């Protein structure tokens, strides 16, 4: 196997809160190959977005920091890179799109100006050339009548169109990695289908690797090859998407799949009660303790889970589960 | 009024319009028809869902049924009385029979009021029963929705999102309503917590014999919760069918596209389901086309669709659809 494009090893990100320092990411390792698509899955507060911000060097200043571990991108260490270097990497090599396309676009500039700005900053294009590229990019993300719409302000566009503009901005410099943080959560399902279709298309055309953050297992099944199930800042389970959906090896992944009423190929009269994952994600104070943090919500919990943090157990097909009872799940 | 004693809620020709702008000082006022002439019935103890995307009018329809927005025309018959014509004290008392659960458990609870008072307030407003009796009802409600008695003294910010939604549910149950309108009751919650609330709602439905009007954009949830489904698009009902007919044999091209767009973990469904991408966005609600409102995005639209508005037509038992291309054979034009 060739060297991965992105290699995160034993990453620990600490956040300073009123109650002290909490490890919001605790010993996380994963790899991303060129052109691959992976998904981070988990509930809010599990550290999915924090991991993405860590990779982008966008952790909240003075509050969050990479405490230890490494983020290696194409041979370069990002966790210690200077701010100047990170500015070059962001946009050029790694881009990100966010959940809320209204708040991530500037309301007082036209969408054309916002796309052109990226090209001028990163690729030193002339004003005219950047504008021409902006039109091409809008066309590429399938905004009808790009020639005219390029002069629109964000408020003149629908939610789906704004997210397309964000994708155009993110892909303007042909990055090697695109991080999509809940890109369709604010959108309707038919628009979501359009955006997924577009992302897959763009991935084929540009060869970019995609990291998609989501809580929707259906979306994961649709979009990703591998997934990382995160819980309380830790890796709960990693592996190929189909394999985990078929046979999860961590009670949390199992719960996440079973607690959602999915639409199946053929619907029957029968409606089972949904499997509940009781309780909620622990508070930051609990993070970093030497025990299984899922134990309080787990139906397989034993004394061992409360005494010691479970190690990652490997299964065939590069599936890994951090659970003392992984074999029995 | 409906003749069928089984029917609890009978909505007929409900229309809600909002005045939006005038063309100049003496110009004609313009109206946005958020809900345009919709009708549906819910039987006692059953659940009907209105599904649709943003702007379809599903929430406005629910608000109009509960008289939280004013209907322009139509009737809402609840257990034999037209809810829309009631006034003053009659309306106040009748509201006890129809309660609402809101989408956002953060903004729908007063942050300065303790949980017990939030739940008790509907009873206090109706001045029903002695004070001690009301407290007893509150105790029972806390237990029914799975909250501890000692949590009664807490303020909303001391609860998690799921627990707040439980408070909202307890409040809705306080007046022993027949009908509860659930407007996206789980959309603001994390997936694992969603299951807890959905299971709770179904349990309460059986225990208290409740009837639900369920508003949702999540077809997975709808499939799990509902007996009958109304699909809305741009203020109109495009399809109205029982659960199995709608999910196993969707007829309207919009419904077909909507269902095909839902990502699924089921390998078989992903393999069998042909995704139908509908291009573009819905039309401007102030400048609606003359014909079918879905025509500009419909993959199979014909000339007639652009000029003539289709009406809701019963093509199979309990299966109505508004599409020129669907007839009594009940075959979707997309299949």
- State residue A311's pLDDT score: 95
Query: What value of ipTM does the predicted structure carry?
Result: 0.86
Q: Determine whether the interchain pair B53/A278 forms a contact, defined as Cβ–Cβ distance below 8 Å.
A: no
Mean pLDDT of chain B: 92
Domains for chain B: give ranges and CATH numbers: 7-233 (3.40.50.300), 250-335 (no CATH)
Pairing outcome for strands A319-321 and B81-82: unpaired
- State residue A326's pLDDT score: 93
Q: Determine whether the interchain pair A218/B264 forms a contact, defined as Cβ–Cβ distance below 8 Å.
A: yes
- State residue B44's pLDDT score: 96
| Test the A interface: residue of B191, B241, B257, B275 with most A CBs within 10 Å | B191
B220-275 tens-digit pLDDT? 999 999 999 999 999 999 999 999 999 999 999 999 999 999 998 888 888 888 88
Question: Please, what sign has the CA dihedral across residues A117, A123, A125, A129?
Answer: negative
Q: In chain B, whose CA is at the least distance from the CA of A257? A: B265
Strand locations in B7-88 (E) = 7-22, 29-43, 47-51, 73-78, 81-82
- State residue A98's pLDDT score: 87
Q: Which long-range contacts (CB under 8 A, 24 or more apart) does A131-138 make?
A: A133/A172, A134/A168, A137/A168, A137/A171, A137/A172, A138/A111, A138/A112, A138/A164, A138/A165, A138/A168
Q: In chain A, whose CA is at the least distance from the CA of B284? A: A158
The CA distance from A44 to A41, in Å, is: 10
- State residue B24's pLDDT score: 72
Cβ count near B17 (within 10 Å): 18
- State residue B311's pLDDT score: 95
Nearest CB partner across the interface for A221, out of B220, B264, B281: B264
- State residue B86's pLDDT score: 92
Q: In chain A, whose CA is at the least distance from the CA of B187? A: A185
Answer whether A269 touches B (CB < 8 Å): yes
- Segment-wise mean pLDDT, segments of 10 residues, chain A, 329 residues: 86 90 94 95 91 94 92 95 94 90 89 95 93 94 91 91 92 93 87 91 92 93 95 96 95 92 85 85 90 94 95 94 93
Answer whether A283 touches B (CB < 8 Å): no
Candidates B39, B32, B40; CA nearest to B16 is: B32
Candidates B151, B69, B95, B88; CA nearest to B118 is: B151
CA distances from B139 to B55, B110, B151 (A): 39, 20, 11
In the predicted model, is pLDDT for residue B2 greater than 80?
no
Q: Determine whether the interchain pair B268/A264 forms a contact, defined as Cβ–Cβ distance below 8 Å.
A: yes
- State residue A158's pLDDT score: 86
Give the position of tokens 């949590």: B151
Q: What's phi and psi for A234, nearest 5 deg?
A: -120, 160
CB B246 within 8 A of CB B229: yes
Q: Determine whether the interchain pair A274/B192 forms a contact, defined as Cβ–Cβ distance below 8 Å.
A: no
Size of interface A-B (CB pairs under 8 A): 129
- The distance of A256 to chain B (nearest Cα, Å) reads 6
Interacting residues of A209 by C-beta distance below 8 A, sequence separation 6+: A5, A6, A32, A33, A34, A35, A36, A37, A38, A176, A177, A178
């Amino acid at each position: 196997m060739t060297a991965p494009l992105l290699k995160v090893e034993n990453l620990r990100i600490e956040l300073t809160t009123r109650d002290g320092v909490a490890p919001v990411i605790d010993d996380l390792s994963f790899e991303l190959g060129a052109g691959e698509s992976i998904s981070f899955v988990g509930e809010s507060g599990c550290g999915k977005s924090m991991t993405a911000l860590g990779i982008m060097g966008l952790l909240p200043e003075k509050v969050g920091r990479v405490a230890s571990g490494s983020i290696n991108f194409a041979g370069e260490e990002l966790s210690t890179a200077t701010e100047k270097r990170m500015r070059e990497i962001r946009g050029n090599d790694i881009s990100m799109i966010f959940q809320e396309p209204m708040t991530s676009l500037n309301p007082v500039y036209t969408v054309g100006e916002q796309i052109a700005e990226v090209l001028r900053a990163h690729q030193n294009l002339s004003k005219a050339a950047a504008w021409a590229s902006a039109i091409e990019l809008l066309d590429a993300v399938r905004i009808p009548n790009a020639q005219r719409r390029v002069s629109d302000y964000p408020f003149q566009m629908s939610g789906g169109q704004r997210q397309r503009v964000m994708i155009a901005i993110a892909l303007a410099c042909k990055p090697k990695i695109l991080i999509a943080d809940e890109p369709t959560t604010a959108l309707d399902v038919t628009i979501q289908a359009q955006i997924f279709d577009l992302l897959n298309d763009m991935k084929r055309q540009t060869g970019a690797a995609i990291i998609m953050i989501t809580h929707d297992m259906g979306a994961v099944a649709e979009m990703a090859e591998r997934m990382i199930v995160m819980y309380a800042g830790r890796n709960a389970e990693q592996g190929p998407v189909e394999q985990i959906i078929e046979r999860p090896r961590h009670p949390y992944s199992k719960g996440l799949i079973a607690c959602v009423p999915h639409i199946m190929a053929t619907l029957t009269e029968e409606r089972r009660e949904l499997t509940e994952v009781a309780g909620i994600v622990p508070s930051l104070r609990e993070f970093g303790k030497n025990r299984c943090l899922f134990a309080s919500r787990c139906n397989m919990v034993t004394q061992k889970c409360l005494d010691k943090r479970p190690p990652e157990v490997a299964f065939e097909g590069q599936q890994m589960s951090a659970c003392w009872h992984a074999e029995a799940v | 009024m409906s003749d069928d004693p089984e029917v609890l809620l009978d909505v007929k020709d409900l229309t809600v319009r909002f005045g939006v702008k005038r063309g100049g000082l003496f110009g004609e006022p313009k109206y946005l028809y958020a809900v345009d002439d919709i009708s549906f019935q819910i039987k006692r103890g059953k659940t009907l869902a209105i599904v649709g995307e943003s702007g379809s009018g599903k929430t406005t329809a629910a608000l109009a049924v509960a008289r939280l927005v004013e209907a322009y025309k139509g009737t809402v018959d609840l257990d034999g009385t037209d809810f829309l014509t009631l006034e003053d004290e009659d309306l106040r008392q009748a509201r006890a029979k129809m309660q609402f659960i809101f989408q956002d458990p953060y903004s729908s609870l007063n942050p300065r009021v303790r949980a017990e008072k939030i739940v008790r307030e509907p009873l206090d407003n109706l001045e029903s029963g002695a004070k001690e009796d009301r407290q007893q009802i509150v105790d029972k409600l806390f237990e029914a929705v799975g909250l501890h008695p000692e949590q009664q003294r807490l303020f909303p910010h001391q609860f998690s999102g799921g627990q707040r939604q439980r408070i909202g549910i307890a409040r809705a149950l306080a007046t022993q309503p027949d009908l509860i309108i659930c407007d996206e009751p789980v959309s603001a919650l994390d997936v694992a917590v969603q299951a807890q609330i959905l299971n709770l709602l179904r349990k309460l439905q059986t225990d208290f014999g409740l009837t639900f009007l369920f508003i949702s954009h999540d077809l997975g949830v709808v499939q799990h919760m509902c007996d009958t489904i109304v699909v809305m698009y741009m203020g109109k009902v495009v399809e109205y069918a029982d659960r199995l007919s709608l999910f196993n044999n969707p007829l309207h091209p919009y419904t077909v596209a909507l269902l095909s767009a839902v990502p699924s973990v089921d390998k078989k469904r992903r393999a069998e389901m042909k995704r139908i991408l509908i291009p573009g966005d819905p039309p401007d609600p102030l400048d609606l086309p003359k014909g079918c409102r879905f025509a500009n995005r419909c993959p199979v639209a014909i000339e007639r669709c652009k000029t003539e508005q289709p009406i809701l037509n019963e093509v199979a038992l309990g299966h109505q659809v508004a599409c020129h291309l669907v007839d009594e054979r009940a075959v979707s034009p997309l299949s």
